Amino acid sequence: MTVLLIALGAALGAPLRYLTDRAVQARHDSLFPWGTFTVNVAGSALLGFLAALPASGGPMAFAGTGLCGALTTYSTFGYETLRLAEDGARFYAVLNAAASVAGGLGAAYCGMALAQAFTG
């Protein structure tokens, strides 16, 4: 049953990642990969929120592992960062690496704080 919940969450997260990435990137005329940055930070915030809730088992398999796992993308982050460096946009490569790590950790912390505020 757990594997099915993970698959269902991933079936929702993967297209959501793709559509969000394309929608955000289409609005920016920049070398910086805003779409990937957005989904990774949003997914980190959601996972931080979920991790702070008294939820486990099925809900965490669906939302935490499935949805957030498919919504966020470390491989694309790595690829885009290397591509920026190889194309001579080293400033954007370093900015992407630093902002993605800081943004993801900060978003996870904010998500946890928000959940703790709701659950008291």
* 78 labeled binding residue: no
What tokens were used for 9? 């969450």
CA-to-CA distance for 46 and 2, rounded, in angstroms?
20
* 72 labeled binding residue: yes
Q: Which residues contact 71 (CB under 8 A, 6 or more apart)?
A: 13, 14, 16, 17, 39, 42, 43, 46
What residues are designated binding site for Na(+)? Answer: 69, 72
Binding site listing: 69, 72
